[in-house]
């Protein structure tokens, strides 16, 4: 409409009242006092009996200001209502995410869709075994798995403008962005995440994305389809930036290799100038910025491959020979240091709890002495502050020690999970991206050193999932 005003196609504008034209009082005054008179445009607010041809009343600026205040207050109330709704675990959605349906009994809640949840499970299963978003997209298209939009169309008739009369290929026309969105969506582990986007202000409706630390996350708002362990592993793999090489293959160590000194990923390359070409890794930071930033950390692919395969085969054999013995060995790795630390922690906890009880008793006696006027108010306040400070310090120390003890139990649970996991891969004869991503969290490559005889030695640390470094 304002384009038509500028080109002179309009000579009169009528609205129900002033608020229907605008609620930003500065711009309203600008149009009514400058633009419309200059363009010879008549403006009429019907219910408020305002007409520029007859002359606007002196109350128009105040009406515009009150209209803006009303908009601001309404915006504040709506946001407050949404915050309360989200805090209560309720969701705001037009369509349920893939794998879910609207809960038949609970308003603003989700229930698992037994007919489609397998699609989500398949996507995460492919991802956890090393497939990237592009590869997953190709697999979904190849298997003609329907998209969420097409499923909604078949069930509810929505998106008819897209799917009605469209060729069959449209029903499974997955995109990489759709797959990435599913892989990052915490809905599938039972969470609801709100406040990802907002308007610039109640005056400007442009949507802006908020930083993750400002998101509102409410856990356990619906039944999960994917376990948290699988979800977290997929997020780590996404962060690993697995890129296809020129031959359209994905390097099996992609995202796993880290430089021991700078922490950057290791880059893969092939030396084709040699009579027999060979592949190798070196530090990405070194490759980009030179020796001022880091050193090469060069390691040949075949050497790394043989070492990692040998270590996995070794642990696989240990798991086959005896699960309980392996569990004890895992828990005892670094046993001298761990046992000493655990013993020290238990002693500290006993001492802290004993002192906490003593301080509570002393504080009670102090109050009784002050009530009986056996000590002055000055001494009571001084000692009271001292005991309160010590109580708070003891409380924090006890909570920290108990949390560390709980982590010891978690370590035992994680060790059992890892043993069950490696038992699935009985005596592997080759490495695959699926196997590596399932068993290994990261591989840290150190710089090689030469001994007095010129022999090259290089340390490689393998950090396994759930149990860390055990070699």
Tokens in use for 338?
A: 């761990």
pLDDT in tens, 185-239: 999 999 988 877 777 766 666 777 778 787 888 888 899 999 998 898 888 877 7
pLDDT at 332 over 80: no
DSSP element (H, E) containing 65: helix 60-87
pLDDT in tens, 113-163: 999 999 999 999 998 887 888 889 999 999 999 999 999 999 888 888 888
Task: Provide DSSP, 178-233.
Answer: HHHHHHH-GGGGT-EEE-SEEES-SS---EEEPPGGG-EEE--SS--SS-HHHHHH
pLDDT in tens, 422-440: 888 878 889 988 888 888 8
Which residues, including other chains, have CB under 8 Å from residue 307's CB and lie 6 or more apart? 460
Would you state the CATH architecture of domain 100-238? Answer: Alpha-Beta Complex (3.90)
pLDDT at 334 over 50: no
How many CA atoms are closer than 13 Å to the CA of 123, on its beta-carbon side? 30
- Round the average pLDDT of the chain to a whole number and report it: 84
Q: Domains of the chain: which residue ranges?
A: 2-87, 100-238, 246-471
Q: Which residue has the tokens 């009303």?
A: 70
pLDDT computed for residue 248 by the predictor: 43
Confidence of residue 335 (pLDDT cuts 50, 70, 90): very low
Q: Which of 193, 220, 189 is nearest to 124 (CA)?
A: 189
**Inter-residue long-range contacts of 388-392, CB under 8 Å, 24+ positions, other chains counted:** 388/363, 390/355, 390/359, 391/356, 391/359, 391/360, 391/363
pLDDT at 336 over 90: no
Q: What's this model's pTM, rounded to 2 decimal places?
A: 0.53
Higher pLDDT, 96 or 208: 96
- The two beta strands, 12-15 and 42-45, are parallel
Percent of the chain with pLDDT over 90: 23
- For the chain, what is the total number of helices (H) and then of strands (E)? 17, 18
The DSSP symbol for 35 reads: I
pLDDT at 82 over 90: no
The DSSP symbol for 306 reads: H
pLDDT computed for residue 307 by the predictor: 94
pLDDT at 343 over 50: yes
Weakest-pLDDT range from 13-22, 97-106, 456-465: 13-22
Tokens in use for 10?
A: 């309009």
pLDDT computed for residue 340 by the predictor: 62
**Helix, strand, or coil here: 91?**
coil
Distances (CA, A) of 432 to 238, 243, 252, 435: 18, 16, 6, 5
pLDDT in tens, 53-69: 888 888 888 888 888 88
């Amino acid at each position: 409409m304002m384009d038509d005003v500028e080109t002179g196609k309009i000579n009169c504008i009528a609205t129900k009242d002033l608020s229907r034209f605008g609620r930003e009082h500065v711009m309203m005054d600008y149009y009514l006092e400058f633009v419309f008179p200059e363009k010879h445009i008549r403006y009429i607010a019907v219910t408020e009996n305002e007409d520029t041809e007859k002359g606007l009343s002196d109350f128009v600026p105040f009406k515009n200001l009150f209209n803006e205040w009303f908009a601001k207050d309404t915006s504040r109330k709506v946001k407050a209502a949404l915050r309360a709704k989200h805090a209560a675990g309720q969701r705001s959605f037009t369509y349920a995410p893939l794998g879910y349906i609207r809960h038949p009994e609970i308003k603003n809640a989700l229930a698992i869709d037994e007919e489609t949840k397998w699609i989500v499970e398949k996507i995460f299963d492919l991802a956890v075994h090393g497939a990237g978003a592009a590869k997953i997209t190709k697999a979904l298209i190849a298997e003609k798995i329907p998209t969420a939009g097409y499923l909604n169309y078949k069930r509810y008739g929505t998106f008819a403008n897209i799917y009605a009369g469209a060729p069959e290929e449209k029903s499974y026309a997955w995109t990489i962005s759709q797959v990435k969105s599913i892989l990052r969506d915490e809905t599938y582990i039972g969470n609801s995440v709100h406040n990802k986007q907002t308007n610039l202000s109640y005056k400007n409706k442009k949507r802006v994305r908020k930083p993750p630390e400002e998101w509102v996350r409410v856990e356990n708002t619906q039944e999960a389809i994917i376990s948290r362990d699988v979800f977290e592993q997929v997020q780590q793999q996404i962060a690993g930036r697995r890129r296809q090489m020129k031959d359209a293959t994905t390097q099996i160590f992609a995202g796993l290799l880290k430089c021991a000194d700078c922490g950057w990923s290791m880059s893969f390359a092939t030396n084709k100038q040699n009579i027999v070409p060979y592949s190798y890794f070196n530090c990405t930071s070194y490759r980009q910025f030179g020796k001022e930033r880091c050193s090469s950390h060069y390691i040949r692919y075949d050497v790394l491959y043989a070492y990692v395969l040998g270590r996995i085969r070794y642990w696989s054999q240990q798991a086959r020979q005896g699960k309980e013995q392996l569990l004890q060995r895992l828990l005892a790795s670094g046993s001298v240091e761990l046992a000493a630390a655990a013993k020290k922690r238990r002693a500290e906890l006993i001492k802290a709890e004993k002192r906490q009880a003593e301080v509570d008793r002393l504080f009670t006696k102090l109050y009784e002495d002050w009530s009986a006027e056996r000590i002055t108010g000055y001494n009571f306040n001084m000692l009271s502050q001292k005991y309160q400070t010590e109580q708070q310090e003891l409380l924090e120390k006890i909570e920290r020690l108990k949390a560390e003890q709980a982590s010891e139990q978690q370590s035992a649970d994680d060790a059992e999970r890892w043993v069950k996991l490696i038992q699935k891969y009985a005596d592997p004869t080759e490495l695959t991206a699926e196997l590596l991503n399932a068993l290994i969290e990261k591989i840290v490559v150190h710089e090689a050193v030469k001994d007095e005889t010129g022999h090259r030695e290089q340390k490689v640390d393998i950090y396994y999932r759930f149990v860390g470094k055990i070699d």
